[in-house]
Amino acid sequence: MTDSHKSLFFLHDDALRYHFYADHPFDQRRIEMTQDLLFQIGALYPTEQVQAACASLEALQLNHREDYITAVKELSQTIPDPDYLVRTAQYGLDHEDTPYFEGMHEAASAIVGGSIAACEAVMEGKALHALHMAGGLHHAFPDKAAGFCVYNDASIAIASIRKKYGARVLYIDTDVHHGDGVQWSFYTDPEVMTYSIHETGKYLFPGTGFVQERGEGEGFGICVNVPLEPYTEDDSWLSSFRDTIGRAAASFKPDIIVSQHGCDAHALDPLSHMHCSMRIYQEMPAIIHQLAHTYCNGRWVALGGGGYDIWRVVPRAWSLLWLEMIQHPLAAQLRAEPLTPLPAAWLHKWQHNSPTPLPTTWLDDTSDWTPMPRRELIEKQNSHIVTLAQEYIR
């Protein structure tokens, strides 16, 4: 494999310090567990990880207001400025979802820097694919934090691509929560297509992402949303994804794909209502991978995102993503043998910390899962949404 065809794995140590409080659902141990799982199978070595620089003020300002960045900096201090403590609500940093914490600016800037560096590596031909699993904080707005997200690394990285390279960007968001911050950042931009498949906002944060949200002005028709019903299962999720993302990519013809891989549509995730298995986290990266080679000469940057069963779901899902990116032999093996055992050493190491028994196989054995009683109605509604989304794609 030549240097221009390798995949790069980005992670800044400071990104692991992105931590709100002890029992907050956003827990960066999921990254450490994923790293360790990949180390155990020889799919990643510590020396292969790329440490990117933290994002500069200029980079942060590609998506965030200067006064908001200043507020984040001030609230990151050991003893915050009292003038900013009384304005935390103004900046969305006052409640249990996204409260300010010491070192917040540095940790969030490290995450942004990793996503920018991953995109630049691919755009400059240093790598064909790049993964930055600490990224994907897609809910932050220019002037406000939201949904566990302080800075919107995805929006900043995409804005950087547009400014530096003038490339057309297809953003694919597979998090169970709508990628609202990224959508609104580029809602009028005809050069950035935002695509999001998620649980409908009728029942789940952030309450947006309806199929009728299609962009405005010159960007009308460049925004694609596929909101699915609660308790959607694998077959319906995957058919909805395949039937819309392929058409979107063919219509838009991007120069690069930036994808967000929140893995919280799994049945075990505590913050959503979906009933999918690990299978969708095997199949979606493969579909995106193929699209990248079909339309972008392979240029593909993958980011992390949500995922709140950090023990049983996230390490497997994000490992499957990396295995697909590097075309590791295990990725092909798992198609034939989905119940291949996880490494015993990894299970032994992490079971001591996990409050629940860890899964023992790479994919889930769904043979004893109880089928959803409303399956037919759920699939019918999802099919209706897919039809609308297909009609709306410009």
Please, are residues 211 and 185 in contact by the beta-carbon 8 Å criterion? no
Q: Which two tokens stand for residue 284?
A: 């979606």
Measured CA to CA in angstroms, residue 307 lies from 174, 176, 267 at distances of 11, 9, 11
Cβ 230 vs Cβ 199: under 8 Å: yes
| Bridge-based pairing state of the strands 192-199 and 49-50 | unpaired
Q: Exposed, middle or buried: residue 197 (CB in 10 Å: 0-12, 13-18, 19+)?
A: buried
First to last CA, the chain: 37
Q: For residue 192, which amino acid is it?
A: V
Q: For residue 76, which phi and psi values (nearest 5 degrees)? A: -85, -10
What does 11-55 look like in DSSP terms, one character per residue?
Answer: --GGGGG----TT-S--THHHHHHHHHHHHTTS--GGGEE-PPPP
As annotated, the active-site residues are 139
Residue 173 near residue 155 (C-beta atoms within 8 A): no
To which H or E segment does residue 131 belong? strand 129-132
Full strand arrangement of the beta sheet holding 129-132: 49-50, 7-10, 129-132, 300-303, 256-260, 169-173, 192-199, 223-228
Interatomic CA distance for residues 363 and 351, integer angstroms: 18
From the CB of residue 365, how many other CB atoms can be counted at a distance below 10 Å?
13
